[in-house]
Amino acid sequence: MDVKLRQFEHSDLEAMLKLIWDTIDVCYRPVYSAEAITHWEDEHNETEILKDAAEGIILIAELDGRMIATGTLLAEQIKRVYVDSALQGKGLGKLIMTELENKAKDNGINEICLYASIPAKKFYDAIGYNTYSEAFIEVKGKRLDYYNMNKEL
């Protein structure tokens, strides 16, 4: 697979939102309530993405000019890592994570943290992240469970 990795540009916003929301819909629906799905989709919005782009680093992975994965580094936190559901398991998430970790190291960061969904936890375990706590928030009377994870760089 000839994947191109590059930095986010403002013109990527619409494609990025579609990638994130489509991935949430496919990967989270078997595990989370409809309320949790809506919460995640609402949380990943234009304002938050543009704010993160201004304050941190957003990477985009493309294949044949199509956005297939993304991830964000904001200080010592990695967030918003999503891979097209049809292409998961092909190393794209690891590619994004490795590059984000390298950028964190370049910025003098020794430990990185993230919040992992139930479906994503196995992936983060496999690339060396440690769960330091289980957590949840209540969304319209339903639990949204997730994991607090970290890794020394």
pLDDT in tens, 108-119: 999 999 999 999
**DSSP-assigned letter for residue 88:** T
> What global pTM score does this model have?
0.94
Specify the residue for token string 């990527």: 12
Residue 1 is predicted with a pLDDT of: 76
Q: What's the CATH fold of domain 3-110?
A: Aminopeptidase (3.40.630)
Specify the residue for token string 């984000």: 100
Q: Which residues of the chain are modeled with pLDDT < 70? A: none
Residue 19 is predicted with a pLDDT of: 98
Which tokens belong to 25?
A: 């819909």
Q: How far apart are the first and last CA of the chain?
A: 27
d(CA 63, CA 146): 30
60 contacts 7 by C-beta, under 8 angstroms: yes
Q: Is 75 helix (H, G, I), strand (E, B) or coil?
A: coil
Question: Which tens digits make up the pLDDT trace of 25-56?
Answer: 999 999 999 999 999 889 999 999 999 999 99
61 contacts 96 by C-beta, under 8 angstroms: yes
33 contacts 142 by C-beta, under 8 angstroms: yes
Specify the residue for token string 């890794």: 151
d(CA 1, CA 10): 26
80 contacts 96 by C-beta, under 8 angstroms: no
